[in-house]
Structure formats: C-alpha cells, structure tokens
Structure 1
Amino acid sequence: MATKTIARPRTPVSPKENAQDAADLLENALTQLESLLWICYGEDIDWHTGEGPRHLDNVLWLAADMARKAGELFQVSEAERRKPPATES
C-alpha cells in the first residue's frame, strides 16, 4: 500500500511565536500563486518530470495552508458564537 504524502512548504515555516517577516510571507504567497497559475494554464503538463512536481507540491502546500487557516477561522468563529451575549448597563 502506498504511503500517505502530506503537502508541506519547501522552506521551513516558523511557528506563530516566531512568525516570519513580511518578505518571507510574500515570497511564500508568490510561489504558491505562480504554481497555481502554472497549472491553470498548463496544456500538456508533465506531472512527473521538469517543473511539474515542484508546481504540484506548491499547489498542495497552498491547499494545506488554506485548510489550516479555514480551521483556525472556524475555531475563532465558534468561540465567538458560544460567548454569552453582552449585557448592556
């Protein structure tokens, strides 16, 4: 049986307490966007050689980032929803 592969960034991403600077975050976003556009355009893409595997990894990284951020937003929205209503005085 094949092993499960999890998308991950090509460069290490720091935890929130050691957050990356704006230039690193911008570089990550541009790398992901370039790959997303590459596969959208991609006629005759070879996913196994050349640039294909790198761009596929980056798009999976983008999807994993989006899923993580959506999960975080869901947790925040649930916490807000469960707060008791503020009483006016």
Structure 2
Amino acid sequence: MATKTIARPRTPVASEDNAQDPADLLENTLSQLEALLWVCHGEDIDWCSGDGPRQLDNLLWLAAELARKAGELFQLSEMARRGALETGG
C-alpha cells in the first residue's frame, strides 16, 4: 500500500470570494480534493492526530463551499423561474 505523502501543510488560502489569484484558487481546490481522496482511501484514518484534523477541516470546508454554491444556484434558479412565470413563459 502506498504511503500518504504531504509536501507541505495546506490550509485555505482565502475564501473563493476573496481569492482572485488563480494560484490561490488552485491551491484551495487541491486542498479540498486531497481531503476528499484521503477520506476515500479510508484505511487507518486517525481523525484526532497526525494529518487527520487538517484533512477533516478541509473536508468540512469543501462541504460548506458546496452547500453555499448549491444555495446560490437555487436562488438563481428561483429568480429565473419567477421571471419566466411573470413573462408568461
């Protein structure tokens, strides 16, 4: 089995709203993807020590961003639906 290797600690650089630099956005996305894949690996994860707490934070960060984006998309779809109803479409 391959060992888990982390080049350097990754933490959220900035929220997506504030991170204008593509490198920051990429680093955020890679941190989230790493956490998701780490959880998928599943074996011998210690959530209380080592990389576990950081990966759990990144995973919760990913879930929070997805929930926020889903809420925004819902609001946009509701506005579009209401606009279509008002125009008779």
Bin the TM-score by the shorter chain: 0.7 to 0.9
Please say if residues 13 and 20 of structure 1, whose CA atoms lie closer than 8 Å, have aligned partners that are also in contact: no
Partner of 2:73: 73
Partner of 1:12: 14
Give unpaired runs (5+ residues) of structure 1. 1-8
Please say if residues 32 and 61 of structure 1, whose CA atoms lie closer than 8 Å, have aligned partners that are also in contact: yes
Q: Which structure's relative contact order is higher, taking Cα pairs within 8 Å and 6+ residues apart? A: 1
Shift, 1:20, TM fit:
1.8
CA distance in 1, matches of 2:16, 2:26: 14
Please say if residues 32 and 62 of structure 1, whose CA atoms lie closer than 8 Å, have aligned partners that are also in contact: yes
Partner of 2:44: 44
- Output the aligned Cα RMSD: 2.0
CA distance in 2, matches of 1:26, 1:14: 10
CA distance in 2, matches of 1:54, 1:31: 10
TM superposition score normalised by structure 1? 0.75
Partner of 1:35: 35
Please say if residues 16 and 25 of structure 2, whose CA atoms lie closer than 8 Å, have aligned partners that are also in contact: no
Partner of 1:85: 87
Shift, 1:34, TM fit:
0.5
Give unpaired runs (5+ residues) of structure 2. 1-10
Per the alignment, in what secondary structure is the counterpart of residue 46 of structure 1? Answer: coil
Name whichever of 19-28 and 50-59 sits farther off: 19-28
Which letter maps to 2:25? Answer: L
Per the alignment, in what secondary structure is the counterpart of residue 34 of structure 2? Answer: helix
How many pairs were matched up? Answer: 77
